Copies of this chain bind each other. A is one copy, B any other.
Amino acid sequence: MSSVRIGIVGLGNMGTGHAKYLIANEVKDGVLAAVCDSRPERLEWARSELGEHVRRFDTPEAMYASGAIDGVLICTPHYDHPRQAIQAFSHGLHVLVEKPAGVYTKQVREMNEAAAASGNVFGIMYNQRTNPLYAKLKELLESGELGEIRRTNWIITNWYRPQSYYNSGGWRATWAGEGGGVLINQDPHQLDLWGWTTGLKPKRMRAFCQFGKHRDIEVENDVTAYVEYENGATGVFVTSTYESPGTNRFEVSGDRGKLVVENGKLTFSRLRVPESEFNRTFTGSFGQPECWTFDVPVASGGSQHAAITQDWVNAILKGTPLIAPGEEGINGLMLSNAMLLSTWIDDWVEFPIDEDLFYDKLQEQIRNSKTKKDANHYVTADVSGTH
């Protein structure tokens, strides 16, 4: 195989974006061969904008069975991702799934098992992993520049969404339609990067979600989470959708100082000797290690969706390792699920979480939903994956 024939499921905002750079040949050896959407107007858009040579389907099944594609980019509502990925694997297709991997880890675990059984290439659209700031942060942490990590703190409150955003689609910000709020819609990248850059394994978590704060919605849009990691470090994650201008500040402190990502900069406060060594040898009452603070050189550009698609195409054609393996989608999702679960049971949640309990609690939210929004066709299709 010298090129990968790609199909796209779902021509919403994301799917349309992927189609545009693929048709512009921005992914080497990646060819947009087919698209799929249940809405005739989106297929009409595809015909006129992508051209007749891109085949059009109104169900994923028909596209998967057509023989027209080698791999599929899944860009449908969150709930549908695992089911549609599992179907694709059963047709021998490679899969690149949009984030989040799904809505609940139980469903995503099945997708991961299907991926492993298929032996096909499975990626997830974690394009922020190619953001040079976070890539550099990961490189520094992995190479031991900060020593053992002792604390993480991410304030990510710059996901401002006005009420009009929530009113713009009947499925938005509902348990049935999206399965959550800021955690499932806005934060998947940060929840992934939090674990991916640090490599820390959460041991237990206590989180506090607030629902419909300053907004007429039923899902969470204000979260504070406290985590204890296996290595003894602790962490805090704060997020919301009603703060303006909001903050995006990620701090990691360790034995060798502190790293902060904020305002597009990666700032390192680096100790000349590790804190643990200073502490062992220092004999005065007050004092601390000599510290050098500087901005770490970081490459420009990055966090392009096309870069992840290119990486997935390369993995298919050349067997190169993925920047964002699909199986890792469960990690950020488990943090998200844990935050809701801790709130719902008003107690600690241990890792790995009780996936059945989370699923039951989510169904309870859906059953008890008092949202007045009409479920439209989109929502109906959307929810079909949950049962």
Contact = CB atoms under 8 A, between A and B. Distances in A.
Contact of A251 (B155, B275, B278, B287): B155
Given A206-B208, A291-B244, A214 B150 contact: yes
A214 B276 contact: yes
A160 to B, nearest CB: 5
A289 interface: yes
A310 interface: no
A244 B246 CA distance: 27
Interface string A151-183: 101010100111111001000000000000000
B257 A234 contact: no
Nearest to A215: B279
A320 interface: no
Contacts of A222: 234
A113 to B, nearest CB: 35
Contact of A226 (B208, B240, B286): B208
B282 A162 contact: yes
Contacts of A238: 151, 153, 236
A245 interface: yes
Given A206-B208, A226-B224, A244 B155 contact: no
Interface in A127-160: 150-151, 153, 155, 157, 160
Interface string A231-248: 010101010101111110
Given A165-B285, A206-B208, A275-B244, A153 B151 contact: no
A258 interface: yes
A253 interface: yes
A178 to B, nearest CB: 15
Nearest to A168: B285
Contacts of A224: 226, 234, 236
Given A162-B279, A206-B206, A276-B214, A245 B258 contact: yes
A242 B291 CA distance: 14
Contacts of A213: 232
A240 B151 contact: yes
A162 to B, nearest CB: 5
A173 to B, nearest CB: 12
A288 B214 contact: no
A277 to B, nearest CB: 11
A162 B244 contact: no
Contacts of A232: 213
A283 interface: yes
A285 B213 CA distance: 18
A269 interface: yes
Contacts of A275: 214, 242-244
A271 interface: yes
Given A153-B238, A162-B278, A245-B258, 7 more contacts: A162-B282, A164-B283, A224-B236, A243-B275, A245-B291, A246-B258, A247-B251
Query: Which 10 pairs of residues, A with B, have the shortest CB-CB distance?
Result: A160-B288, A244-B288, A165-B285, A245-B291, A162-B282, A168-B285, A245-B269, A162-B279, A244-B275, A243-B253
16 contacts: A150-B214, A160-B288, A162-B285, A162-B288, A163-B282, A208-B228, A224-B236, A226-B226, A243-B253, A243-B275, A244-B257, A244-B291, A245-B269, A245-B291, A245-B293, A246-B253
